[in-house]
Amino acid sequence: MNIKSDLIILNKPVDRVFDFLTDFNNFEKLMPEQVVKWESTKVSGRFTIKDLAEKLTIINRYY
């Protein structure tokens, strides 16, 4: 799978960006419209992409 995105500069403190990206409850806001059936907790997320189920889990959170 290849994922491409534009480079952006975030004018936010690094700790706020880290906290946002290490909480799967925030990921739904970042997903394309092809992502459906989103379910999440702080450390895991489950969703479907074009009839393909996936599950993600954060094993270790480093800062």
Q: Are 35 and 48 in contact (CB under 8 A)?
A: yes
Burial grade of 52 (CB within 10 A; 0-12, 13-18, 19 or more): exposed
Residue 52 is encoded by which pair of tokens? 């393909």
Q: Any idea where the domains of the chain sit in the sequence?
A: 14-57
Residue 14 is encoded by which pair of tokens? 């690094």
What's the predicted TM-score (pTM) here? Answer: 0.62
17-63 pLDDT, tens digit per residue, is: 999 999 999 999 988 888 888 999 999 988 888 766 666 777 777 76
